[in-house]
Amino acid sequence: MPKTKIKQVDDALNGGIMESSAVAFVGSLEYDNVILMHQVTLNALKDGKKVLLVTFRHAPNTLLKETEHNGINYAPFIEDGSLVILDGYTNLYAPGQKQGENILSNPLDIGITTAVIRNSLSRGEFDVLVIDDLTAQYTLQPNPKGYIKTLVRLMNSVKSLGVTAMAALCGDVFEKVDLAAALIPFDYVLEVSRGKIIITRSIQPLKIAKPVFPYVRTSEGIKLVLEEYTTVEGIKKRLRAEPDGTLWLDWERVEIITEESERATIETAYEFLGPEKGKEFLYLWGKKQFIGIGKDAKRRTDNLRSALKEIALLTRSSGGGTIEIIEVREDLIVITGKKLFPGGKGSPLPYHVHYAGSIAQFLTEFTGKKWEGKETKCEAMGADHCEFVFWPAE
């Protein structure tokens, strides 16, 4: 059973992709879909499968460089013969026809090309067919509709041989009606684009209601955002400093804030506005920081406790302290924290009202009902831990 080796995606797919099925990886111009397809291919090779990889998008050498830059090393499998690359690129663009082993002589003749692919699969006793990708042929074919019909027949015939088929295509290039037609023979459709993996079709019922998984592309391939942002090492890999004095965490500009600086902000709010108005300001500040976070979490899971645990993981990995989910009920949620940022001692007022505002905003977006909350205990005021209580406001 081919796997993405992205746990949450494989879990949603009941453990992975069924054998002898067809999988389409649909993407956009950044081609993250292609990288995920090659990750699945590498995993199949590691599991002992024999793979025929047909490349139309790049020459084989260029393809191997691209995959290596994304953490996918095919070299050992080419050497042992478990991966064979069929070159459909060279004679698409070469000024004269080039001959050689595993070079398609006339890739634009889609009838001959598909016959060669089927013959290679049968003779070589392959377990998996991978096509990288379908877009190049679509753009060059004089009759795109005819190309799609032939593609549908190819995918169905490959499945009838007991071979698992995987193909990538750029949805931005295909006309809408052509894209829908091209996807007809595929049992699975995974959209991989603009930071989200979406399972839009599966031959089996999915394990989750909303199969949307935010991801980042790394030097080790496609990884879920949570995998990269819940460890210090993951965050370090995502940070970069620019010559213009800016610091970036992937696409978001950040700044290193000291505990003293954060504490000064909170104390200034109390001194300038007074205790009650200061709390109100900090609470609203926290809400503002979490706008959109609850909606995003809802796309990944319907389980509130699991979503809150994600916040706890991100808080810990980013240096905000440890959060524990104590109680989750329809009318009450209790959360505790230790070493929350910023820390302090001897304060007559709580330091983490903004945490309460952030989580209240999160709960409101996630549940669709308005929630409010407050910090009822604070380490800065002498308690042995911080405590937050939340309740429905309506």
- Tokens of residue 243, six digits: 């010559």
pLDDT (tens digit, 9 = 90+) per residue, 3-31? 888 888 999 999 999 999 999 999 999 99
For residue 332, pLDDT over 90 is answered with yes
- For residues 240-254, give the mean pLDDT: 89
Q: Is the pLDDT of residue 233 over 80?
A: no
Q: How many Å apart are CA 365 and CA 297, to the nearest integer? A: 9
Q: Read off the pLDDT of each residue in 186-204 and give the average, rounded to a whole number.
A: 94
pLDDT surpassing 90 at residue 44: yes
**pLDDT-based confidence at residue 362 (cuts at 50, 70, 90):** very high
- For the chain, give the percent of residues with pLDDT over 90: 73
Range 246-271 average pLDDT: 91
Residue 267 has pLDDT above 90, yes or no: yes
Query: Which pLDDT belongs to residue 130?
Result: 98
Residue 340's pLDDT is 96
Q: Return the higher-pLDDT residue of 8 and 269.
A: 269
Reported pTM? 0.74
Residues 6 or more apart whose CB falls under 8 angstroms from that of 322 comprise: 312, 315, 316, 337, 338, 339
pLDDT at 232 over 90: no
Confidence at 225, pLDDT banded by 50, 70, 90: confident
Residue 259 backbone dihedrals phi, psi, to 5 degrees: -60, -40
Task: Give strand pairing partners of 215.
Answer: 224
- What's the confidence (pLDDT) of residue 313? 87
Once rounded to an integer, what is the mean pLDDT over residues 341-345?
Answer: 93
HSE value, Cβ hemisphere, 13 Å, CA-based, for 247:
8
Q: Residue 325 pLDDT more than 90?
A: yes
Residue closest to 63 by CA, chosen among 46, 82, 86, 29: 86
Work out the percent of the chain whose per-residue pLDDT is above 70. 99
Query: 98 pLDDT band (50/70/90 cuts)?
Result: confident
pLDDT > 90? residue 231 = no
Task: Tell me the average pLDDT of the chain.
Answer: 92
Task: Please compute the mean of the pLDDT values over residues 309-329 and round it to a whole number.
Answer: 91
The three-class DSSP label of residue 73 is coil
Find the largest Cα–Cα distance for the chain: 83
Residue with tokens 């007809």: 184
What is the pLDDT averaged over residues 227-254? 83
pLDDT of residue 354: 97
Distances in whole angstroms, Cα of residue 225 to Cα of each of 217, 251, 315, 364? 9, 13, 14, 23
Higher pLDDT, 298 or 71: 71
Q: Residue 209: pLDDT above 80?
A: no
- The residues, ordered by sequence, that sit 6+ positions from 25 with a Cβ below 8 Å of its Cβ are 33, 34, 36, 37, 166, 167, 168, 169, 190, 192
Query: What is the Cα–Cα distance from 130 to 200, expressed in whole angstroms?
Result: 20
- Which CATH number applies to 259-392: 3.40.50.720, 3.40.309.10, 1.20.120.80, 3.30.1380.20? 3.30.1380.20
Mapping DSSP to helix (H, G, I), strand (E, B) and coil, where does residue 109 land?
A: coil
Cα–Cα distances (Å) from 374 to 9, 352, 383, 386, in that order, read 36, 9, 15, 11
pLDDT of 100: 80
Average pLDDT, stretch 90-109?
84
Architecture of domain 7-229: 3-Layer(aba) Sandwich (3.40)
Q: Tell me whether the CATH fold assigned to 7-229 matches the one assigned to 259-392.
A: no
DSSP one-letter string for 322-363: EEEEEEE-SS-EEEEEESPSSP-SS-SS-S-HHHHHHHHHHH
Q: For residue range 120-158, what is the model confidence (pLDDT) as tens digits? A: 998 988 999 999 989 989 998 889 999 999 999 999 999
Residue 220 confidence (pLDDT)? 86
238 token code pair = 């995502």
pLDDT of residue 8: 86
From the list 41, 43, 36, 26, the residue with the least C-alpha distance to 190 is: 26
Residue 283: the pLDDT is 98
Domain borders along the chain are 7-229, 259-392
Average pLDDT over residues 389-394: 93
The two tokens of residue 6 are 């992205």
